[in-house]
Amino acid sequence: MSEAILETRELRREFGAIVAVEDVDLVVSAGSLHSIIGPNGAGKTTVFNLISGTLRPTRGQILLRGEDITGSPTHRAIHRGIGRSFQITNIFPNLTVFENVRIAAQALGKDNFKALSPHRRFGAYMDRAGVVLDLVGLSDRASVPAQVLAHGDQRKLELGMILAPDPEILMLDEPTAGMAAEQVPELIELIRNIQSSANKTVMLVEHNMQMVMGVSDCITVMHQGAVIAEGTPSEIRANQRVQTAYLGGLYTDLGGAG
Ligand SMILES: Nc1ncnc2c1ncn2[C@@H]1O[C@H](COP(=O)(O)OP(=O)(O)O)[C@@H](O)[C@H]1O
Ligand SMILES: [Mg+2]
């Protein structure tokens, strides 16, 4: 297995009496697609908020390539190469698809872009936008206003905007939420392709079990704030604890059991 790019050690977050995240130890391998699954309220989004610096942990540590980044604010996390999706994406509806991606590259530009002269920097953002639109399959839509995109293409644009500053780790919290079922496989495939072709580490929270089982290198299962299992899709499918926790719950089908 490759090196750990991200680790959490006894990561904990309480909200009053609620233990949203209970002493979670995660090890995410560089270049992997690592999914976190679990029923609503399991603590998945809170883990993402802690890693991206949106929330501070009650205790515990977050390490990026072995370096302690606990308590690092969000903008620092971005500069350190962690890009994450939020519920609300700042798509500018009147601007073109290309401009949206260029601005995302510019607004969150990594420090190595900032070393360039203003003129070269602008060129670098233009180049980056072109590369990203290729990656997300929107090159042929580059010059249309973002607001005319179909819903599925808007999701691709959101993905492009997260990719634009070239993060090493992409944190995607339910990227397919609200999508028509028949569009889900395409977006998940796209995420998988980006992870392998652009050599990214992807942390994914996703409800569609079939999809999760199909694309993940590693799956962490959370339940009531705690990690109850971690492993490959086949290990998770066979895990008795997972089956018990999920039986009669949200997921009766752990994906491809048949
Ligand atoms: N800002 C908050 N204030 C109070 N409770 C919260 C807050 N954020 C999350 N929680 C609680 O923490 C638990 C985990 O929530 P969350 O991380 O959103 O779960 P998931 O993403 O797995 O559905 C839930 O009980 C939720 O109500
Ligand atoms: Mg959530």
Closest ligand (CA of 14): 1
165 closest CA partner among 45, 50, 77, 34:
77
Task: Please state the pTM of the whole predicted model.
Answer: 0.90
> Which residues have C-beta atoms less than 6 Å from ligand 1?
15, 18, 20, 38, 40-46
Residue 210's pLDDT is: 86
24 closest CA partner among 13, 10, 38, 14:
10
Is the pLDDT score of 87 beyond 70?
no
Residue found by looking up tokens 């050599």 in the block: 199
Quickly state the pLDDT bin for 72 (edges 50, 70, 90).
confident
Is the pLDDT score of 249 beyond 90?
no
Contact 142, 102 (CB under 8 A): no
Residues near 58 by Cβ (< 8 Å), separated by ≥ 6?
12, 13, 14
Arithmetic mean of pLDDT over the chain: 88
Identify which has the larger pLDDT, 107 or 243: 243
Quickly state the pLDDT bin for 113 (edges 50, 70, 90).
low
Residue 256's pLDDT is: 44
**Where do the H-state alpha helices sit in the chain?**
44-52, 74-79, 97-107, 111-114, 118-136, 151-163, 184-197, 209-215, 233-238, 240-246
The mean per-residue pLDDT over the stretch 120-124 comes to: 84
Radius of gyration, alpha carbons of the chain: 18
Q: How far apart are CA 125 and CA 101, in angstroms?
A: 9
At 184-232, the pLDDT tens digits run 999 999 999 999 998 999 999 998 888 999 999 999 999 999 999 999 9
Which among 13, 14, 18 is the best mutation to test ligand 1's pocket, defined by most ligand atoms within 8 Å of the CB?
18
For residue 121, report the distance from its CA to the centre of ligand 2, in Å: 36
Quickly state the pLDDT bin for 253 (edges 50, 70, 90).
low
The mean per-residue pLDDT over the stretch 91-103 comes to: 95
Write down all domains in the chain, each with its CATH number in brackets: 1-81+168-258 (3.40.50.300), 87-166 (no CATH)
Q: How far apart are CA 145 and CA 97, in angstroms?
A: 6
Quickly state the pLDDT bin for 111 (edges 50, 70, 90).
low
